[in-house]
Structure 1
Amino acid sequence: MAKKMRRYTPDFKENAVLLSYNRKNVIDTSIELDISPKLLSKWRAVYRKFGNGSFPGKGRKRVYYEDKKIFELEKELSESQLRLEILKKGIKFKPQGKDALYNFINENKKKYPIGIMCEVLGASTSTYNLWTKQPTSKSEARVRLLKETITSVFYEFNQHYGCIRITRELRKQGFQISEGQVSFYMKQLKLRSKVKKKFKITTDSKHNLYTSPNILNRQFKTDKPSNVWVSDITYIQIDKRFLYLTVIIDLYDRKVVGWNIGSALSTKTTSLPAFRMAVKNRKVKDGLLFHSDRGVQYANKLFTSTLDKYKCVRSMSRKANSIDNAVSESFFNSLKRELIHMQGRLLAPTEMRMEIKDYIENWYNKKRRHSALDYKSIEEFNAEN
């Protein structure tokens, strides 16, 4: 009768090798463990080469120990990245209720494992399975679609929009819905537009330079571009110091036609470069009314002579009366509420310049819906007129 071949577990092999090192004698160890010295020597040779990865078990590939560690770390990293990706995409559906959350899981089940999605998003796998078997009524499907779209618009526009602007955006997409309905669903979804914060106004009007009368007189609407431009300057706090933002806005479409960020309050770093940008972006008409506050940056000879060169009519707010320049003040209010105050830290100068440029050029002048334009974006308004 043939002798039955013994099978050794991975742990036995590794322990036998370690014991042989401790005994410092292969023969004694082989006798003690009742295995052949030749077999133990073979195991020792394998262990010297592969270390802790020497005996992975039947059917598994032998790898170097360091390679195994790297593989396991890479696997952990890959799983962490997958979970983060799911969380980023799915977290916005949690406030919308189980239907929206399970719908997200259902739509992404071919891309991500259902179990991991449920675990990451705090959902029950068994409840999800029951949900997939229950038919959804047309009314429930419509409400779900509305909530999903409201949430999508809310986050697409960086949480800046309240119910009025979201309603306009939904109507543009073909939904028949009232502001009251949007407000109701936003409360259910716990979606709140970013809170307004007060900001400090800094205008140096204590000078002996000539100041123009308030010709604009709070007439903030005009029927043609380059009829009236309004301008103002505000401070932006950054890491360890301040920057100063100057804007020039055309009252026709509320577009910021010129702007500049400077590190000082001189005319050459505020009103003058902003005006130069404005005349490059939009043709100046003779008699253009240029309205500002009474600050020295607008009243000095360097700037007024530039306005005279372009045959502009000067207008200035009354002393200590910010409402006379309400459009510029409103822009700064929006900028600080929607961008500056939402930063988690004080930005470096380069970072802040990039953020403001993106806000003005890509958000305010293109996508943002303006109440003065019947909640149209500037691009939509100009396309219709």
Structure 2
Amino acid sequence: MIQEEGKTVPQVAKELGLHTNTVYRWVSEIKQDGGQAFPGSGQLKDDDKAIKALQKQIRDLQEENDILKKGHALLCKRPALIYAFIHKYRFQCHVAKLCAVMDVSRSGYYKWTKRKTSKQEKSRKKLEQRIRRIFLDSRRLYGSPKITQMLHKQGSRVSEKTVARIMKEQGLKSRTAKKYKATTNSKHNLPIAENVLNRQFRPNTPNQAWVADITYIATDEGWLYLASVMDLYSRKIVGFQMSDRMNKELALQALDRAYHQQRPSNSVLHHSDRGSQYASHDYQARLSTYKMIASMSRKGNCYDNACIESFHSILKKELIHLERFKTREQARKRIFEYILCFYNAKRIHSTIGYLTPNECERRYRKAA
């Protein structure tokens, strides 16, 4: 076959990623078996036995090549790693073949399988289980930084690099997705408030500064719009409302829910973009009724309202773009559950010390 293609043994060995001695050995074995796989004329004789012998050698070559590719990183003569690799692929390849290619004895491998698990291995398996549990509990959304922080909370001192490596080995990858679409309409003649917030996103107490915005959700029935209000202290969504229309009533209902749920005792700074819903006379009148101070982003500056826009981006990456909603009602239920049961109650936030919004608010009230 080598001569038939006009290639030398070193060329074939290089193409297959094998040592030249291995290929020479196969050529020698085929000749010793009586097969005429490499006749001087360059033509393979019509001999069933020789053909079968050659086909077997080709299969062995492919199998060994696959083994070598998978075990390349382990070919460092560390028996524990090599035995673990053999054990992992024992159902895909023959154990004898794996041992031969890895240059270890079968008896050594079988002895390894009967050994007692070390404390280090037990600790490693427990860590792997905890990482998987946290990952699944996060709805397969957390990456290594958040999982590391959760482990630290549980008393496990482990580095982010170790967590990232274990997640990669186990195929645990965050399933978030990214898509963007603008919804703000600031082309109107309604009065605009000053940017009082001025990107001061770290208030000292709850109900000191709220931010509001509207986003969209695609369903098979058409768009569903979500208006949200966030407390900047805890990053908690204190009020939200959904509708098939993006109007001032949608924004007002979200504000009403936030006010009646939080019952702020002092004046709240309310920040939004320059959208017509928030600049409307009815919305500004409601802010006055609730004794809130209006603040709006500068024209065309998305960073002035980055926190609530970041929440909507997270919502889309972690929920909206991972599912398809047939109806608006289906989308409503999933968003309602995500905000109240997951985002506010379970999802940790780096800005507030890897606490959940509810936990952050509870800690403040307990300390107060």
Equivalent of 1:274 in 254, 261, 268: 254
Match of 2:318 in 1: 338
How far apart, CA to CA, are the structure 2 residues paired with 1:321 and 1:266?
Answer: 22
Partner of 1:305: 285
The amino acid across from 1:356 in the alignment is: I
Aligned position for 1:245: 226
Aligned positions of 1:27-106 closer than 5 A: none
TM-score (norm 2): 0.68
Match of 1:215 in 2: 196
Task: Give yes or no for contact 2:227–2:254 (8 Å, CA) kept in 1.
Answer: yes
1:183: which partner in 2?
164
What is aligned with 1:81?
none
Letter of the structure 2 residue corresponding to residue 153 of structure 1 = I
Distance 1:250 1:348 in 2: 30
Of 354, 358, 362, the match for 2:337: 358
**Alignment match of 1:227 (pick from 200, 204, 208):** 208
Runs of at least 4 residues off by over 6 Å:
121-124, 129-132
Matched residues in 2 for 1:222 and 1:151: separation?
35
CA contact (8 A) 2:179 2:321 kept: no
Secondary structure at the aligned position of 1:134 is classed as coil
Letter in 2 for 1:217: N
- Write out per-residue CA displacement over residues 54-89 of structure 1, whole angstroms, 9 at most, x where no aligned residue: xxxxxxxxxxxxxxxxxxxxxxxxxxxxxxxxxxxx
Contact 1:365 1:378 in 2 (8 A): yes
| Larger Rg over CA atoms | 1
Q: 1:246 and 1:134, CA in 2 relative to 1: closer, same or farther beyond 3 A? A: same
Q: Paired residues, what number? A: 270
- The residue type equivalent to 1:370 in the other structure is H
Residue 140 of structure 1: CA displacement?
Answer: 0.9
State the Cα deviation string for residues 212-233 of structure 1 (Å, max 9, x = none): 0111111101011111000000
User: What is the aligned-residue RMSD (CA, Å)?
Assistant: 2.9
Percent identity of paired positions between Structure 1 and Structure 2? 40
Q: CA separation in 1, counterparts of 2:92 and 2:337?
A: 35
Matched-pair contact (CA < 8 Å) for 1:286–1:310: no
Deviation of 1:284 after TM superposition, in Å, equals 2.3
TM-score where L is the length of structure 1: 0.65
Q: CA deviation at 1:254?
A: 0.5
Matches of 1:241 and 1:383 in 2, distance apart? 38
State the 1:130 CA deviation: 8.5
> Which ranges in structure 2 are unaligned for 5 or more consecutive residues?
1-82, 95-109
Kept after mapping to 2: 8 A contact 1:369/1:378: yes
- Deviation readout 1:266-288 (Å, 9 max, x if unpaired): 211x2110011101110224431
Q: Is the 8 A contact 1:230 1:292 kept in 2?
A: yes
- Shift in Å at residue 132 of structure 1? 7.4
When structure 1 is superposed on structure 2, of 367-376 and 277-286 the one drifting more is: 277-286
The 1:123–1:296 alpha-carbon spacing in structure 2 relative to 1, beyond 3 Å, is farther
Shift of 1:379: 2.9
- 1:246-301 Cα offsets, whole Å, 9 max, x none, are 00000010000000001101211x21100111011102244310000000110011
Question: Matches of 2:155 and 2:334 in 1, distance apart?
Answer: 32
Q: Deviations over 1:80-105 (max 9, x none)?
A: xxxxxxxxxxxxxxxxxx99xx9xxx
Counterpart contact for 1:222–1:252, Cα < 8 Å: yes
